Amino acid sequence: MPTPRKFEPHYRRIIADIRRRIDSGEWPPGHKLPSTKELAELYDVGSHSTVRQAITILIETGELYGHQGLGVFVAE
């Protein structure tokens, strides 16, 4: 019998994928992330707040930074 998978919140899945894209060089330092709406569609989540939660955590850890009106970018 297979082991049941633990539930992983959507925001954690988004964080993991953004980190993977940064680590692989797909999104290098200074790269502007897609809009919250585009990321919600990319990650197939119905709530923009889920994407914002992930981005907020990555900003708090210094992996991303935001400029009001300009967007969110990959940190150096």
Per residue in 15-71, pLDDT tens? 999 999 999 999 999 999 999 999 999 999 988 999 999 999 999 999 999 999 999
- The answer to whether residue 5 is domain-embedded is no
**Tokens (6 digits) for 36:** 């919250």
Query: What is the domain range of residue 38?
Result: 10-74
The pLDDT of residue 1 is 46
Give me the number of domains the chain comprises.
1
- The answer to whether residue 2 is domain-embedded is no
pTM for the full predicted model: 0.87
Q: Can you give the CATH number for the domain in which 52 is found?
A: 1.10.10.10
- The answer to whether residue 4 is domain-embedded is no
pLDDT exceeds 60 at position 2? no
The pLDDT of residue 5 is 57
